[in-house]
Structure 1
Amino acid sequence: MPQDQDATASAPQLVGSFLERRREQIAQRWADASLFRSVFTVSRDEAVEASKAVVDALSDVAVSGRLEDITAPGYEPVREQLGRMTQNRARAGATPAGIADEVAALRTPTLDLLREEFADPTAPQAQECVLTLTLLLGTLRLVVLETALDAGAEMIERQRQQLLEVATPVIKLWEHTVAVPLIGTLDSARSQVVMESLLEAIVEQRARYAILDITGVPTVDSLVAQHLMKTVAAARLMGAECIVSGIRPAIAQTIVQLGIDLGSVLTRASLADALAYALSRQGIEVSRAQTGTNAR
């Protein structure tokens, strides 16, 4: 331990002072660790600077004495710095447990430098500082694991939202006529995406007719029916007439049994019937082309 170091200082204070004093050496060793090396592949200097930011944050936490408190203010810079890194690692396929193990690998080089601070690494004060630093880095591991799990949850939510959007395409069938062919189960989240996508398409396409085709929807309960009616009402407010098509016999029976009133909703048996209705309302008549035999 340096001669000018207060021998009566607490272990957290000594560790905080150590982290501040040996900041450069710690950062140089961490920059070669897999956690930093795998993210900062272009410039090692960037890895060193990122390491320094984390060391500074840990020094602040040590001095505050809140070694096991993952909500300590000192961990905020850690979350910001390592949060971006863990997101990059997660995109590269790393698991939260794998990222936590990479953080655990930072402990050995840091403890080696700490032991060099003491003439007798086995002395009680040295052992207490080693225990304090181990506890501090263990809490860091928890903070990073929490950040990695949050990043993973955000990524899953984004992917789920993207899948919902892909699963609810809005198709332009004709001038001023759009349709949403629904396939699979409808829940609240997907129904909301259907409504938003349809309303956006009505504005973009200046649609006067919007068709909701539920031929591929296996079941309809009261909640789904309510969402459909809200979508129809929202489309009307946007100036478009909404048509629900593809109501199969089983679904029709369910709607009747549930006592749901769809009297205000325009329905057609199939998507083709709904399109024919929308075209006729626009004064467009579709007829079969005559074959050569019939023409003679």
Structure 2
Amino acid sequence: MLSTRIHDILKNHLSELQTEWFATMASQGGRRDSLTKDAELREQCAEFLRLLMEATRQGSSFDINASVYTPVRELLERLSRARSLQGHSPSETATFIFSFKHPLFNALRREWTRDPQVLGDELWNATLLLDKLGLFTTEIHQRTREEVIHRQQQEMMELSTPVVQLWDRIVALPLIGTLDSGRTQTVMETLLQRIVETSAEIAILDITGVPTVDTLTAQHLIKTVTATRLMGAECVISGIRPQIAQTIVHLGVDLSGVVTKSSLAGAFSWALKRLNQSVHTPPSPRATPAGKG
């Protein structure tokens, strides 16, 4: 079995390996005391060595995707995700594994120094195994960061599409930034859900904060207007600045069937009239003559 000799080294020198490994991590910068405490790190080292020893006892190869390495992979996945979320860099995460080369190589040299052929083979086997495990930790670290970034983008997208109830049966969605397909889908879902919740009859899409309007953006707006109408509500697009109006005309985008206004205030005023409602400004109180009251 290819892994027999490494298993024997782990089994016969477990305590020394763990001590030397911990010292190696300290010298190579694999420890960040503010993020991972010594006791926790020692426990992680001990668990990894125990699982690796069991895997090399059962395994006949160094295929880390084999079932015998499942517990090892699960541990490294858990540790890599935790380190990624704690702020460790990919190299710091991989150092947890790569730093074990030094104590393991030293143990192999002490055991097989008189047999260069066996020593060379075992050093190569150990290198292959630890390199694969180290690369696995960086893959998990990167995947975790990508998941965090994706989740943050989703949260930012949701925060950037707040639907505000301006008046009874009137809601408004102020859009800021560039509209792409993903964001448009979120805009649609958020707006339609809010229309259902508030029984709104008019929805105002305010694009004052949208820097430019191209053909794709215009198509997204038309789709949102169409979806809103299918929900039984009228949709108004406000914030049509002169530059945007010229761009829409130049692009040949047909918004003739869509109510548009130059400002949110204008759209709100239109919506009130549409619903036969109005806002009256209360009269200002008369000034009290001097010497009275």
Deviations 1:148-193 (A, max 9, x none): 1111111111112222222222212122222111122222222222
**Secondary structure of the equivalent of 2:3?**
helix
Do structure 1's residue 227 and structure 2's residue 231 form an aligned pair?
no
Do structure 1's residue 107 and structure 2's residue 97 form an aligned pair?
no
TM-score when scaled to structure 2?
A: 0.80
Q: 2:138, 2:114 → 1: CA distance? A: 31
Aligned residues: 280
Q: Aligned residue for 2:44?
A: 47
Q: 2:186, 2:7 → 1: CA distance? A: 54
Q: Aligned residue for 2:118?
A: 125
CA deviation after TM superposition for structure 1 residue 231, in Å: 0.9
Do structure 1's residue 14 and structure 2's residue 4 form an aligned pair?
yes
Q: Aligned residue for 2:291?
A: none
CA deviation after TM superposition for structure 1 residue 224, in Å: 0.7
Q: 1:203, 1:53 → 2: CA distance? A: 57
Asked whether the 8 Å contact 1:27–1:55 carries over to 2, the reply is no
Asked whether the 8 Å contact 2:207–2:237 carries over to 1, the reply is yes
CA deviation after TM superposition for structure 1 residue 75, in Å: 5.4
Among candidates 159, 163, 179, match of residue 186 of structure 1: 179
Q: 1:139, 1:85 → 2: CA distance? A: 16
Specify whether residues 265 and 138 from structure 1 end up closer, same or farther in structure 2 by C-alpha distance, changes over 3 A only: same
Specify whether residues 78 and 176 from structure 1 end up closer, same or farther in structure 2 by C-alpha distance, changes over 3 A only: farther
CA deviation after TM superposition for structure 1 residue 290, in Å: 2.2
Asked whether the 8 Å contact 1:183–1:217 carries over to 2, the reply is yes
CA deviation after TM superposition for structure 1 residue 254, in Å: 1.2
User: Unaligned regions of 5+ residues in structure 2, if any?
Assistant: 288-293
Specify whether residues 271 and 141 from structure 1 end up closer, same or farther in structure 2 by C-alpha distance, changes over 3 A only: same
Supply the AA of the counterpart residue of 1:91. Answer: L
CA deviation after TM superposition for structure 1 residue 61, in Å: 9.1
Asked whether the 8 Å contact 1:57–1:77 carries over to 2, the reply is no
Q: 1:254, 1:115 → 2: CA distance? A: 74
Among candidates 79, 82, 86, match of residue 92 of structure 1: 86
**Secondary structure of the equivalent of 2:148?**
helix
**Secondary structure of the equivalent of 1:132?**
helix
Q: 1:196, 1:61 → 2: CA distance? A: 52
Among candidates 77, 80, 84, match of residue 74 of structure 2: 80
What pairs with 1:155-166 in structure 2 (closer than 5 Å)? 155-166=148-159
What pairs with 1:1-296 in structure 2 (closer than 5 Å)? 9=1, 12-15=2-5, 17-18=7-8, 21=11, 25=15, 47=44, 50-51=47-48, 54-55=51-52, 59=56, 63-66=60-63, 76-115=70-109, 118=111, 120=113, 123-292=116-285
Supply the AA of the counterpart residue of 1:252. Answer: A
Deviations 1:16-43 (A, max 9, x none): 6437746965895568965799558786
Deviations 1:238-291 (A, max 9, x none): 222211111111111111111111122222221112112222333321122222
CA deviation after TM superposition for structure 1 residue 86, in Å: 1.8
Q: 1:183, 1:109 → 2: CA distance? A: 56
Specify whether residues 143 and 199 from structure 1 end up closer, same or farther in structure 2 by C-alpha distance, changes over 3 A only: same
CA deviation after TM superposition for structure 1 residue 230, in Å: 0.9
**Secondary structure of the equivalent of 2:134?**
helix
Asked whether the 8 Å contact 1:179–1:213 carries over to 2, the reply is yes
Asked whether the 8 Å contact 1:27–1:49 carries over to 2, the reply is no
Q: 2:32, 2:48 → 1: CA distance? A: 8
User: Unaligned regions of 5+ residues in structure 1, if any?
Assistant: 1-8
Q: 1:15, 1:89 → 2: CA distance? A: 31
CA deviation after TM superposition for structure 1 residue 74, in Å: 5.4
**Secondary structure of the equivalent of 1:291?**
coil
